[in-house]
């Protein structure tokens, strides 16, 4: 599904990713953990195609294509989805309008019939039920005035409607209360499929109690310095990151 090789990225004149390599097979869930400022969000943003980052070397192959050669909207149509760490408010753009436009752009790209108003509404209602969101959110501006937790829930609603092949979730658990964390995690779990991969950035192993990852990676100073299974996250919670850095430097 995704093969990142020796990726070097800089922004604002400084190197952020420094030889990052990662392979994600179809159906797998990978968790990326690491100290603040190590490059986790940068990785997610670069994969989604955000401007402002310079890829100086390395490659990213997504479903046999050079991902970095595609403009961001093409990546989205090809099934790459990013749930933002800080979802942006888009006042004046209706939430339901954005969802429908995004869904139909993807369908059109796949050569499928676009969803009409009835089909779309039935689909979005089903997904809102899953995310336990009130339908009133549909008619508000995208994230406009949403609480932090509501914004995160709205990101996963988008994911549920768009059904991406590669979902990048950047700290989707941050700012969620106990019930919302469970709801969001249930939403993500219900979207696990053999042909869909999920890469989630998180600081807390608690999320991994709900969404069981196949692999856990430690990203430090722009590269992955250790990989393991869920037990690695438990160890990090107990011991912090210094020992991993020392181990990698030895």
Among 1, 29, 31, 38, binds ligand ATP (CB under 6 A): 38
Among 11, 61, 70, 96, binds ligand ATP (CB under 6 A): 11
Q: What does the alpha-carbon distance between residue 95 and residue 150 come to, in Å, rounded to a whole number?
A: 13
Among 4, 9, 16, 199, binds ligand ATP (CB under 6 A): 16
Nearer to ligand ATP, 36 or 136 (CB): 36
Looking at beta carbons, which residue is closest to ligand ATP?
12
Cβ at position 34, least distance to ligand ATP in Å: 6
Among 4, 30, 39, 133, binds ligand ATP (CB under 6 A): 39
Spatial CB neighbours of 102, under 8 Å, sequence gap ≥ 6: 76, 158, 161, 162
User: Token pair of 244, please?
Assistant: 């991993």
Q: Which stretch binds ligand ATP (CB under 6 A): 34-42, 119-127, 133-141, 177-185?
A: 34-42
Does residue 34 belong to the site contacting ligand ATP (CB under 6 A)?
Answer: yes
Among 6, 21, 25, 37, binds ligand ATP (CB under 6 A): 37
What DSSP string runs through 175-232?
Answer: T--HHHHHHHHHHHHHT--TT-EEEEE-S-HHHHHHS--SEEEEEETTEEEEEE-HHH
Does residue 79 belong to the site contacting ligand ATP (CB under 6 A)?
Answer: no
Q: What does the alpha-carbon distance between residue 187 and residue 153 come to, in Å, rounded to a whole number?
A: 9
195 and 74 Cβ atoms separated by less than 8 Å: no
Spatial CB neighbours of 175, under 8 Å, sequence gap ≥ 6: 148, 149, 152
Q: Which stretch binds ligand ATP (CB under 6 A): 40-48, 110-118, 188-196, 210-218?
A: 40-48
Among 1, 24, 30, 42, binds ligand ATP (CB under 6 A): 42
Helix (H) or strand (E) holding 50: none
Q: What does the alpha-carbon distance between residue 220 and residue 30 come to, in Å, rounded to a whole number?
A: 16
Does residue 51 belong to the site contacting ligand ATP (CB under 6 A)?
Answer: no
Nearer to ligand ATP, 14 or 238 (CB): 14
Task: List residues binding ligand ATP (CB under 6 A).
Answer: 11-12, 14, 16, 34, 36-42, 52
């Amino acid at each position: 599904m995704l093969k990142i090789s020796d990726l070097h990225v800089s922004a604002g004149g400084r190197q952020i990713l420094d030889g990052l390599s990662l392979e994600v097979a179809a159906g797998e869930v990978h968790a990326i953990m690491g100290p603040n400022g190590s490059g986790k969000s940068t990785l997610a943003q670069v994969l989604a195609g955000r401007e402002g980052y310079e890829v100086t070397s390395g490659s990213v192959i997504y479903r046999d294509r050079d991902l970095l050669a595609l403009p961001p909207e093409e990546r989205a149509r090809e099934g790459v989805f990013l749930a933002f760490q800080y979802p942006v408010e888009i006042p004046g753009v209706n939430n339901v309008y954005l969802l429908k436009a995004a869904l139909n752009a993807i369908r059109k790209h796949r050569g499928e019939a676009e969803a009409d108003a009835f089909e779309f509404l039935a689909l979005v209602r089903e997904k809102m039920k899953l995310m336990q969101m009130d339908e009133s959110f549909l008619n508000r501006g995208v994230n406009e005035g949403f609480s932090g937790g509501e914004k995160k829930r709205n990101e996963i609603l988008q994911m549920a409607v768009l059904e991406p092949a590669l979902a990048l979730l950047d700290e989707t658990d941050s700012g969620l209360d106990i019930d919302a964390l469970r709801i969001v995690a249930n939403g993500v779990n219900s979207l696990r499929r053999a042909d869909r991969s999920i890469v989630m950035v998180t600081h807390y192993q608690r999320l991994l109690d709900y969404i069981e990852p196949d692999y856990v990676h430690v990203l430090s100073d722009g590269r992955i310095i250790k990989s393991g299974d869920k037990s690695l996250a438990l160890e990090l919670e107990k011991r912090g990151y210094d020992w991993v850095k020392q181990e990698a430097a030895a």
